[in-house]
Chains A and B, each alone.
Chain A
Amino acid sequence: MTWKIVGSLMAGVLLGRLLNVENGEVLGLVGDFALAALLFAVGFSLGADADLGRKIKGLPKIYLAVPFLVAAGSLIGAVALGLLGGVVPGEAALVGAGFGWYSLSAVLIAQGYDLTLGTLALLTNVFREFLAILLIPAVARRLGKAAAVAPGGATAMDVTLPIIAAHTDSQTAILAFYSGTVLSALVPVVIPFILQLLQS
């Protein structure tokens, strides 16, 4: 499945380079439609699991902390590897606080800080999504189901959700949706917060 995923993406990038598609609105509409179909399919597989209620109750309470661990790990990791690339810690944290939601983080940072860092946030969070798609199967196999929720960050509620679901179980799919939702809500809170720290 992974090579098909990478193939679709690369085909899109190449065609985009060739055609220079200007019409973002149609593309956005197609994206929304595909996203809805995607979530419908995930919901369907969850609904078909008769044991789901019992499984959710069986989730250890500690998993409520997963999105906050993902958030903290993203910031720490961004600052640590940012130092290697000569990125100031505050700016690295700002980019990392996109948690994979590239469109929103890029806009917030471009408007509130500067355009170059906004572009870096876009690239970083797009790369995070690509990497997550590639690595989730291996993470699920080697580090366990809960860890497989982490790579996608906020995208665990949409784009990476079906991949997580396919390589774990319905219990973890619920955890992924929960984690992605909380992280999506955190992006517009954490980025302005770090912006304030940077500018004070």
Chain B
Amino acid sequence: MALLLGALILGFIAARWRLLPGSLRPRVPALGSAALFLLLFALGLSLGSNQELISALPVLGLRAVLLSVGTLGGSVLLVWLVAELGGKGR
């Protein structure tokens, strides 16, 4: 948590106060994308190596799909509804 907030603030300050040389500035978004790919690759690696998880898939997979669709759908629906009803200033 501290790491995340620290990195976010550091990035913010670096942009505000122009701490990066001009040649590096346009490359920051690419750094972000590369980091995202690396993060997901590492996540996949640890999930794929998790034998217990893989063997649980046939048994629990369908229920997990249902529940994940439910949580995602329910939260999108509720936020959308309230934003439509109350957030018309946007």
A interface with B by C-beta (< 8 Å): 1, 4-5, 8-22, 24, 27, 30-32, 34-48, 60, 62-63, 65-66, 69-82, 84-87, 92, 95-96, 99-100, 116, 119-120, 122-128, 131-133, 135, 139, 143-147, 149-151, 153, 157-159, 162-163, 177, 184
**B67 and A85 form a contact (CB under 8 A):** yes
What is the chain B residue whose CB lies nearest that of A29?
B42
**B31 and A37 form a contact (CB under 8 A):** yes
**B87 and A47 form a contact (CB under 8 A):** no
In the assembled complex, B89 has its CB within 8 A of some CB on chain A: yes
Question: What residues on B are CB-neighbors of A147 within 8 Å?
Answer: 76, 79-80, 83
Main secondary structure of the interface of A (DSSP, over half): helix
A12 is contacted by which of B4, B47, B53, B66 (Cβ under 8 Å)?
Answer: B47
Q: How far is the CA of A151 from the CA of B90 in the complex (A)?
A: 20
**A82 and B68 form a contact (CB under 8 A):** no
Interface string of B41-52 (1 = CB under 8 A from A): 111111111111
Distance between B43 CB and nearest chain A CB, rounded to angstroms: 6
Question: What residues on A are CB-neighbors of B15 within 8 Å?
Answer: 43-48
Question: What residues on B are CB-neighbors of A131 within 8 Å?
Answer: 68-69, 72
- Of the listed residues A63, A127, A144, A153, the one surrounded by the most CB atoms of chain B closer than 10 A to its CB is A127
A124-B79 in contact given A24-B46, A39-B11, A47-B14 (Cβ < 8 Å): no
Distance between B20 CB and nearest chain A CB, rounded to angstroms: 8
